[in-house]
Structure 1
Amino acid sequence: MALRDGPVPIESDAHLLRARRTAAITRVAVGLAGVALLVAQPHLLPRPELGLIGSAIIALTALVQLAAPRMAWLSVEESLSASAGLLIIGCGPQRVTVLTILWLVAVASGVLARGGRVHWLGRNLLLVALALPVIRYGSLSAEYAVLVVATIGLLLTSGRLTSELNLLLRQARLQAESAETLLFAGDIASRMAERRERGSAGAVREAPAGTPSRVEERRMLARLIDGDGLSMVVQPIVDLRDGTIHAYEALARFEERLGDGSPLRWFALAEELGERDALERACLAGALELFARRPPGTSLSVNLSAPVLLDALTLSMLHGAGAGRHHDLDGLIIEITEETLVEGDMQLSSAIEPLRVRGVQLAVDDMGAGYSGLRQITSVRPGYLKLDRSLITGVEGDEERAALVGALAGYSTQVGCLLVAEGVETEAELRAVRRLGVPLVQGFYLARPGPAWPVLDRDARPALSVEPISELLAAEAGELEVLQPA
């Protein structure tokens, strides 16, 4: 039977027109959704190159969706075949509407998940997966092709997920190395036991008592990162203006001793083994638990290095600490040392801006140790400046040191920061920093670090019952008139 020449039947034209319209709507919806997801990234990128690659993949996918060639002069089946991987479906406007709505909900969920409580990437992909069943079975291969491409871009662009993968890999590597070394050490120990049983004179030389081997150090560090053997104590920060406790500083204490027993030795070991970030986050978790039950009217400060604070996992922990509302984290102070401020990213201020909105304040610790200039310090807009102990020790008898502390007190007032004198260990130092205009003090003279929540030392209380700082300064300058009763 010969084929008839002539125009395509009207039904085919209508079907093709509907397919084209459906494809155009889908391209626009998916393209806009991809762009919106790219803009709504809620976390910093730990590796910029991965972020650039992921962003390029998502942008390219969106561009292809928006600029795909029109399938003119093709049947519906040929149009679908030629459009493999482009989410072009000829299944009717109802299913396109469902898919578009699900994508819009996915975008909205990504925007709303900026607080970090719900994993935004997982929620988006779940909603996309729910959209797949409404698509005709014959086009599922094309849908999955696009889903794989978009997923690769999202995985590379997601700072949180790449950080989690890196952390898991580091922990797995540490555990594998520890297990391998422990097996080797166990083999040596068994041989030593056999030699002792046989009365052999040759023995393997043991490590000195109380000095852990590298294997034991790795094992103990892994326990600390898991929270086993790690505890938090707090030390009061006193407001000299009214003699009350203004805040507490959370400090880590470790059950196992290393070297001289200082917690700094553990952080040095973690730095050496590449686990400093994980150990700091373990301490942060303990501090956030204390923050939730701190005494009313007080704040809690926790120490973090600037690079760890910029890490996506750390920001996720901080975002998840509150209820996700404005000022729900009022009273949380993050202390970063002046040294790590120099080494860290100077975009710190903008990076934690979402936390500022929720009430978090920055404090620059160890100020005066000689690392940064005042301009660099104030560029992060701290709420607190903490003077290094080296400036406070013996300040009552050192005119140059006292002049510097007084100048910093005036400077902090001008820029709107609260100045804290750390390491106050004598009454003379307390009275000196008070006279110089320092509003907040911290040190052994007032209270030693202890379990939550220590009270002020009884011997220090009389020294706190003095006139307000402004009146003391005015009296010394001869500018305060003492009114005598008539």
Structure 2
Amino acid sequence: MTVPPALETERGSALEALVDAASGILSADSLDGTLGRIAHHLRALLRYDDLAVYEIDEPAELLRPVFAVGDWVAEVMSDPIPLGTGVTGWSVAHRRTRNVPNSHEEPLCNVVGGTPDDAEAFVCVPLLAQERVVGALNVYRSLENESFSADEVELVERFATMAALAYDSARQREHLREQVQRDGLTGLLNHRACHERLNAALADDGAVAVVLIDLDHFKVVNDTLGHAEGDRVLVASAERLRSAVRAGDVVGRMGGEEFVLILPGADAEAAEDCAERARAALAELTVHGRPVAASAGVAAAPTDGTEAAVLLENADAALYWAKRSGRGRTVRYVRGAVRPESEQRNEIAALLERGTQAIDIVFQPLVELATGRAGGYEALTRIDVEPRRGPDEWFAQAHRVGLGNELEALAIRAALEVPDRPSGTFLALNVSPRALLSKAVQDTLPSGLTGIVIELTEHEVFGDEDELSRALVNLRARGALIALDDAGAGYAGLQQMIQIAPDILKLDRTLVHGAHADDSRQALLEALIGFASSTGAAICAEGVEDLDDLRALVELDITYAQGYGLCRPAPAWPQPDPAAAASGTSEIRAGLRVSMRTRSGAGAFARGIAELAEELAAAETAWDVGAASTRAAQLLGADDLAVLLVRADQLELISDQYDEVGQCWPIEDYPASRYVLDAGIPGQVIAGDASGDPLELAELERLGFATALLVPVTWGNRPLALLELYRVRAQAFTSHEVDRARVLAQQFGAALDRFS
């Protein structure tokens, strides 16, 4: 068939316009900007007089205009359409395009308020995003330019697809911006957003007051009743504080148990009244029969400062004096009442002078879900001196007075001094990036860091990225693994994950708590887990206190879990609760952990499999197949991979590993390997897992590895070979990784069948 040149040109122009519109959606930062680009390109291909885009507002039962071009923009934008009415309502309800040749002949047509009732032709197309109707695109022209043809309607429909994508993309961006500003637990504005709101209030009027509120003795709630109860108190406190302020006031969570009220237009006296109302509202809450008590500090602009940082610092000074004066009261900032820095510094200096005796280290196990064992331990600092404060407050104070690096180094030294860490486990040491780069911490860390995990905390600002990257390279060269704490909490964003490339990604406890009953939390967890699996990182879920959450995490296929529901922090070296840990363990068969779950995967792995298949297809001997083991190991995030060919009753090494190619071992000497070949089921052994096959564990130790995954290679129900994937560290392969190993084994089976 020959296509007329004019039509070919028209189609090419339409395609170019669609491509440009699509690129605009990806690059534009606003819905208006993207829709404007779509309207521009559509006008170049189609004659129209007016265009409008509507979105569905379900609570109000309206179609709200979000964009318009033409002669009646103001009128269109001020006239929403009741859902289910008019041609637009019909099109949305029926999910179908409606082409109206003459508005005067269409009974469903209604007239936008303030515009003439002239006859016109128009096309209404429902906007579909992810199989749901989100709005409608209407295109109008006067009858002088005739009605819309079928080809023109099709063109509008194509651009409507772009508009739907633009709408959905813009709303997702808005949602992400909102998430970044919100505290994940309480839904209040977070620390950064509070600073932004306070700066905006100061710039707008200048008269604004702040109230800092701290829950008294909150650490006792966490330590005695658990973090889940502590979280419930924080959420309930946030609700009570919302009830104590005006509609235009801001309630935020600064961190821990500290909240802030930002009161535009209020003076210090009004702020004191608000603080008292807030403390009274909190006292309506009870924990085990006792009312929640709080202390408050008040500062007001312009008297107490005209910059956000100064105002908050002065409110913090007032809060300090409220707590120092016996707690349970409100104190207004008085000039000169700032807590002396010398006093703060002397407190930290006294701690440092006492050395490790000033610090108690407790440990909480990271439970490896495949085995139920403690895969590692996080060292947690406790400072049991007067005045009583949580460790976060001590470290924050130390950094304020210039001694934070020294206090962090002291905590690390105390943790490293604890003897007899169980074999096959790692030790996670918390350290902020700024302290990690300091001489105090660098001098404290030993030269050999095998078995040590450096857990990076405090993600709001990472500082010099190049210097941090160099430090991480050095730590890894010395044997350390790197963990990134609080992923998904707002500060630990994707950019930081990419920069750090963590070996262990720790999910923030606010994401984990309630995950079993929250689809949005599960979706975000799946996204983070997917990112981690693509980089080879292990996933650890923090704050696990509910067995239902633990089961949900097992289904999401994470490596480690940590929390009061598995084991409370305790002196060295606590073991997980066996009943709770058993919720995720893989079945033991023949001294192996076997995974019966299946998972799906794609992306970079699929491309890698394609490349591996090409390499295997080019193999001319079985030893050429074995030579592909390096690429295969990289695909699965393993440190090495051995290919052992089945030769009657023996296994022959055909890949270049620590033993010589061609070396053989009797299968009967290794019952676990025999079981894997006979049953056709992968299994793994991990150093430190008491249920592991002793012979396989001894072989692991001989080779210098701590984890081995055995995967049968079969073809036509015949066992052809055994793949053995190794890890230097004692970290179980997840069900997702085992499934990928099965896929990889199929590729080896197809190649080896040619030489059997």
TM-score by length of 1: 0.49
Q: Point out the structure with the larger strand share.
A: 2
Q: Point out the structure with the larger helix share.
A: 1
TM-score by length of 2: 0.32
